[in-house]
Structure 1
């Protein structure tokens, strides 16, 4: 037995990590020239850009020293940064239709000499959870494996393909037709599901491969093994991700436009010359729901709306929220607050109603517009309320935000149960 062990060890290249601190990077490859679905990497899936699902899982796993997106497209770069990822601008040489993932990852590693282990996370696997990455990384960082990749178990019988025009007969490749096993009596087979590939720097640069050395697999549950390649996959994936996707830890900060969202945009003039705004009790209750669930709410007033500005103190007293004046394009002021609070856009909710809100609506992890919002805002938002602004739309969105936070907590709890019993 000892001799056999020595021979086996000698056949495996020594690719072990020798650094005192191992820099582990997550890398999502997101080329702009997708042929099946144009710019599919940032197309909204269940209200979230496709790469947003995997970036959220990678960041929330808290196991990576850095999280990257490798892209050649400006719009993908913008979305990636909004979700808290760093961006590697790939060269034209690895941005062609025929470029391989290996070539792209090699270029990334040559540009980032400090990275020891890279986890190539596929953008098209939106049901990836932080726990999947956490458990798989243990195999490399603690158990000494050089490469780990995700698989799914399938119970499918395979038959030999017969080319058209051939007189050859087919035959079974993984079963005996005379003794067809029942599903419960057969372990099935393991197939790569493409969710992620983890490997050491040396394996990629010196050996030129993503699987090698001391190899292990990580088995994912079938319900989390989702891949999107063509248009027909999209609606199926959307239903799957709504049920089995990872929705994060929930937002902790919400920006709310006053005019048109908290109010209906109307201004009342009294006989004494006072200006008045109307706030529906449903919406004030919605703010209370958010604050009770530890979501800080910041009200946004326009510097061009003198009436709303004059009522700032009353709004603060009525809602208990900070009121902030923003310009015609609120992105710059809102971005400054997000950065000051050391948050990513995925941690932020935004409710607006105007085309000028489109940038913030697109970037926010959760975003909504009232039913009567401008078309440009509706197209950018992830959720459109059934109600109009000022008559309960905020309450509706508040319920949606709280529901998503509860779903996230429930999923995290279930994830721990599944991983402990899997």
Structure 2
């Protein structure tokens, strides 16, 4: 390096270990959690953080590789030797480094931490790149009293570990203790090569308790989904009120099959739950419009939906754009449910997007939510419920901000009164 030449910045790589084997939940790492594959939550946070030179998933499974690439990550195919039940994370990370000599720092992010936010990763990257720490790991503060274990047959009493029983702390009077939460471990190459994930000049990063969600601990999947819906990271742009849902008819509202009678009349099937979902959306003040590439105008009246519909739509995005401008909405106020390649651009543009479980791969990649239900089998109703849950989150966050601002104004008023006494 010549005098005055800037030193190249150390290569910081995010690495998510996602083995195919799982004793508790088969293929847990790509099981849908709140409409997104589990590993997708942390990949979204890592990519949006913008601090990593590369984002990787280390896996031994074809389906996990496929999902990782859909979310924009690179894939390292780990060897069978480090894919066993007995294999450690450190062994898998060291193998990754042996194949990627360009990497100087590894940010090992756990796939089972779906409430991770980019802001956390940005701050940790600063700690290790700008402040000179060799390793940084995540912790959470807990207010739990510990007692010594008494094994069966031992003739002794338990002893308090972090409290005086004669003077128990109130929660508000005790700062609590820091525990590793397993969300991430950042370490420099030289430490990992010596067999350490934590060492050298160490620092911890304290995560907010509500963001410290570990699926290995939150065994009940529906409870974990509710926590993610409340505290998860949904993308760079803030959510807004949804005022329009546009739904593709073929493959979403229907199962995509066309039945032809002897007299050459077309028939389609739909799920009544989806009709209920559309009506619920309307009651919430959300307009629903339908779109199709083919002429299905003769079958629509039978559904009695009373929705504006555009058939023979050769350019769905242009139709969506015309509707959005006519109603006077921003893209963040538009939701879209599609299932085919022709829906991809609409899915990318909409503030909230979803696809049925049987949508094509490119549509799934573009969507923010993948339904558990297939097209024509309740997907519209499920997506409607997803919209309602996210809107509840928006309203809750808005109320919290109003409460904070109100409290600040009250405090400010009291300070002014004290100032003039």
Q: Which residue of 2 aligns with 1:236?
A: 223
**Paired position in structure 2 for 1:7:** none
Could you tell me which residue of structure 2 aligns to residue 54 of structure 1?
42
Residue 347 of structure 1 deviates from its aligned partner by: 8.8
Paired residue secondary structure (2:293): strand
Shift of the alpha carbon at 1:198?
0.6
How do 1:99-110 and structure 2 match up within 5 A?
Answer: 99-110=87-98
Q: State which of 162, 166, 177 in structure 2 corresponds to 1:189.
A: 177
Give the count of matched residue pairs.
351
TM-aligned CA distance change 1:216 to 1:410, over 3 Å: farther
> What is the distance in 1 between the residues matched to 2:169 and 2:295?
72
Aligned to 1:129: 117
SS in 2 for 1:301: coil
1:247 maps to which residue? Answer: 234
| Structure 2 counterpart of 1:385, from 375, 381, 387 | 381
Measured in 2, the distance between the counterparts of 1:266 and 1:95 equals 42
Q: Give the distance between the partners of 1:66 and 1:138, measured in 2 at CA.
A: 16
Q: 2-side partners of 1:298 and 1:85: how far apart?
A: 34
**What is the 5 A alignment of 1:11-410?**
20-205=8-193, 207-229=194-216, 232-249=219-236, 257-259=248-250, 301=293, 311-312=312-313, 320=321, 349-351=353-355, 357-360=359-362, 362-367=364-369, 373-375=375-377, 384-385=380-381, 403=391
Describe the SS at the equivalent of 1:76. Answer: helix
2:303 corresponds to:
none
Equivalent position SS for 2:359: helix
Residue deviations 1:329-361 (CA, integer Å, cap 9, x gap)? x766777x69xx9x7x99983556xx8635456
TM-score (norm 2): 0.67
Which deviations, in whole Å up to 9, do the C-alpha atoms of 1:221-251 show, x marking residues without a partner? 1111111126734233222111111111359
| Conserved? CA contact 1:94–1:100, under 8 Å | yes
Partner of 1:325: none
Q: Determine if contact 1:153/1:190 at 8 Å carries over to the other structure.
A: yes
Q: Distance in 2 between matches of 1:153 and 1:120?
A: 21
SS in 2 for 1:113: coil
Task: Note closer, same or farther for the CA distance 1:315–1:109 as it changes in structure 2 (3 Å cut).
Answer: closer
Separation in structure 2 between the aligned mates of residue 68 and residue 171 of structure 1, nearest angstrom: 46
**Partners of 1:256 and 1:351 within 8 A in 2:** no
1:310-333 CA distance string (max 9 Å, x none): 9447988865469xxxxxxx7667
1:22 offset after TM fit, Å? 1.3
CA distance in 1, matches of 2:352, 2:168: 53
Q: Structure 2 unaligned runs (5+)?
A: 1-5, 240-244, 259-277, 300-308, 324-338, 406-421
Contact residue 36 and residue 370 of structure 2 kept, 8 A: no
Structure-1 separation of matches of 2:393 and 2:147: 46
Root mean square deviation, CA, Å: 4.9
Aligned residue for 2:136, secondary structure, equals strand
Question: CA 1:316/1:128 → structure 2, altered by over 3 Å: closer, same or farther?
Answer: closer
Q: TM-score, normalised by structure 1?
A: 0.67
Distance 1:310 1:75 in 2: 35
Distance 1:370 1:357, change over 3 A: same
Q: Tell me: CA distance 1:44–1:265, structure 2 relative to 1, closer, same or farther (3 Å).
A: closer
Q: Deviations over 1:187-233 (max 9, x none)?
A: 2111101010011011101x211000000000111111111126734
